[in-house]
Chains A and B, each alone.
Chain A
């Protein structure tokens, strides 16, 4: 591995390459250019450069992150969390509103139902009153008619009783005469009256 050790002269590198072929030839050229071993990671002459640029990069990234990116992302995340919380609260609110509306609707329904019942009862009462008046009138008419009829019947009855009394008296007078007695008109009438009442 002589060609890979440092600061080999150009000629020595070539002599070695001839022995070891193309792989070492490339490394030989590389080594001549950079004066380093075959592993660029162990080329200490570039360490300062890499470390310098790495520190610059880290500082720049840290500045970008801590000044701009991280506060912004944190704000976005917390804003989203807030939005979710707000939305949930709004949903809760809407839900309670819906419940309220349902209650109001039920209340209105119950009121309407009661009103309808009241109106129906009123109508029924009015009709009943009319009906009562009509019934009373009809009853009165009927009663008047009945009284009239009763009077007529009573008259007829009285007339009939008078006729019977007349016929009975006449019949009794005729019977008494036929049996040979002398019919006393007054006595016969009294007897007929007594019998009829008796």
Chain B
């Protein structure tokens, strides 16, 4: 029973990765919108784009890790 609850928890935690995907998409979409307005400044900001994506994605990876821990380690 306890193990089954852990699986449910893992599923719930896995939803976090999807929500983080929304965040990553948000970062990329806003970067694209800005880049289309001012293409000359876009090239110098790709590093910032990747840093932003990395921060947004890290939280999704955290929830993925929680899901894995619930599945395999609890």
**How many angstroms between the C-alpha atoms of A42 and B74 in the bound complex?**
11
Contact flags A93-112 to B (C-beta < 8 A → 1, else 0): 00000000000000000000
- What is the interface of chain A mostly: helix, strand, loop, or mixed? loop
Q: Which interface class (under 10, 10 to 19, 20 to 34, 35 or more) fits A?
A: under 10
Let me know if B19 is at the binding interface, CB within 8 A. no
Residues of B within 8 A of A (CB-CB), count? 9
Contact flags B38-74 to A (C-beta < 8 A → 1, else 0): 0000000000000000000000000000001101111
Let me know if A2 is at the binding interface, CB within 8 A. yes
A38 contacts B3, C-beta separation under 8 Å: no
B6 CB to closest chain A CB (Å) equals 6
B residues near A4, Cβ cutoff 8 Å: 72-73
A residues near B72, Cβ cutoff 8 Å: 1, 4, 37-39, 42
Task: From B2, B6, B69, B73, name the one whose CB has the most chain A CB atoms within 10 angstroms.
Answer: B73
**How many angstroms between the C-alpha atoms of A119 and B74 in the bound complex?**
114
A1 contacts B68, C-beta separation under 8 Å: no
**How many angstroms between the C-alpha atoms of A1 and B74 in the bound complex?**
7
